[in-house]
Amino acid sequence: MALTDTFIKNAKPNDTGAGVKHTDGGGMYLLIKSAGKYWRMGYRFAGKQKTLALGVYPAVSLAKARQRREAARELLAEGIDPSAAKSQEKQARASAAVNTFEAVAREWLMKTATQRMTTTQSKITTWLEKDVIPYIGKMPIADVGPRDVLAALRKMEARGALDSVQRVKQICGQVFRYAVATGSAEWDVTQDLKGALAKATPGNFAAITEPIKACELMRSIFDYSGHHCTVAALKLSPLVFVRPGELRTAEWAEIDLGVAEWRIPGIKMKMKADHIVPLCTQAVEILLDLQAITGHGKFVFPSIRTGERPMSENTINAALRGMGYAADVHSAHGFRAMARTIMDEVLGERVDLIEHQLAHAVKDPNGRAYNRTAHLPARRQMMQRWGDYLDKLRNGADVIPLRGAA
């Protein structure tokens, strides 16, 4: 006979201490002991008699126990052992409780620490601890959705940190991809946030122009451990300070390491005029090392995926972001401003030579544009002085501040 709420409430255990069973149908019964009243369900699976615990009365009411019984019967009808399903669900809940976003993020930080500099590690940790963990850190990472991440990032957006918010979104994406790889999450939810966040208004290319900060940048570049092409491109960028598009599409046919020159055809240049880049000894050394790896192909910096195309236009900027330099601090294009400013204000190089080397339009006293070979010997000497200066910066020489700088 089916049980009632009144009967269950008033039912008592027997005096012997042995449990008393009161059936409700469908294999479910109420087991009454001196310690309490327990819902149970008896069933057979794979030829064996089994018992499933459905809860304890009164925390689990009669109605709730019946719902659990029906759910178990549905599993049985599908050939699933409800006891095994319950155990798996319990394990999943325990795993979720342990694998919070914060726990996974800290594990990712620890596992990948050797891939970045200490300063970068500290910056990423601070971003997570300040802008993400307070809002979604305690949530099981498997339960975090795009809207949860977006809500946290919106707070950064509201205070105007538009460049940093994009970087933090990327960091969150890396945490989620690590969680997917380790089985703690099913997908990278940040993929659904494309276009949801405001972007910084484009302006002048961000650049480090203070010698002290340039010193830190050069050390960061030489400490960077990434793909060999990316490392070489990073090291070469400040030495040649060409436009990023000119660097990434460089071809071995354009470079003569014997005479230490890189001749860029006008079709690749912004001003559509041929350009000569004298290569200092430091640049030649970098290219010689790289030639052993990519010299058999067309491009100096081939795509990682296929050697038939040049390196991606985002590679150097992505590496800078990975080193901890946000888009509003320094960019791939910023190496040009760094060279122009420091060469002029610290090294006292001739401005017209700097402008020539930047491939800017420079005219003679008669208003005619100089050709590509103008002042080439002087430019060659200037480029070597620049390469030597960058080495001194990186190796710890005394840093002379910009004129007028505090």
> Is 116 annotated as catalytic?
no
- List the catalytic residue out of 66, 336, 379, 394: 336
Note if 270 is an active site residue.
yes
Number of Cβ within a 10 Å radius of residue 84: 12
- The candidate with the shortest Cα–Cα distance to 339, out of 276, 386, 394, is 386
Give the pair of three-digit tokens for residue 106: 């800290």
Active-site residue, 178 included: no
The gap from C-alpha 47 to its chain's centroid, in whole angstroms, comes to 52
Record the tokens describing residue 153, joined without a space: 């990032």
- Calpha distance 316→112 (Å, rounded): 20
CA distance readout (Å), 99 to 220, 324, 401: 33, 27, 48
Q: How many Cα atoms within 13 Å fall on the side-chain side of residue 45?
A: 20
Query: Phi, psi at residue 314, to the nearest 5°?
Result: -95, -5
Are the CB atoms for 103 and 136 separated by under 8 Å? Answer: no
Residue 364: count of CB within 10 angstroms of its CB: 10
Q: How far apart are CA 14 and CA 120, in angstroms?
A: 69
**Given 333, 379, 380, 394, which residue is catalytic?**
333
User: 3-state class of 376 per DSSP?
Assistant: helix
- Closest by CA position to 131, among listed 82, 165, 92: 165
Q: Write the DSSP string, 57-114.
A: ETTS-HHHHHHHHHHHHHHHHTT--HHHHHHHHHHHHHHHHHSBHHHHHHHHHHHTGG
- Positive/negative CA dihedral, 66, 72, 94, 140: negative
For residue 263, indicate whether it is catalytic.
no
Is 321 catalytic? The answer is no
On whether the CB atoms of residues 324 and 123 are closer than 8 A, the answer is: yes
Name the active-site residue from 44, 90, 138, 360: 360
- Residue 375 is among the residues annotated as catalytic for this protein: no
The answer to whether residues 184 and 142 touch, using CB atoms and an 8 Å cutoff, is: yes
Q: What is the DSSP letter of 132?
A: I
Written as one letter, the residue type at 239 is: L
Helix (H, G, I), strand (E, B) or coil at 153: helix
Looking at 249-280, list the stretches that DSSP marks H as alpha helix, in order from N- to C-terminal side: none
Selected catalytic residue, list 69, 169, 235, 243: 243
Report the alpha-carbon distance of residue 219 to residue 208 in Å, rounded: 13
Active-site residues: which are they? 243, 270, 333, 336, 360, 370
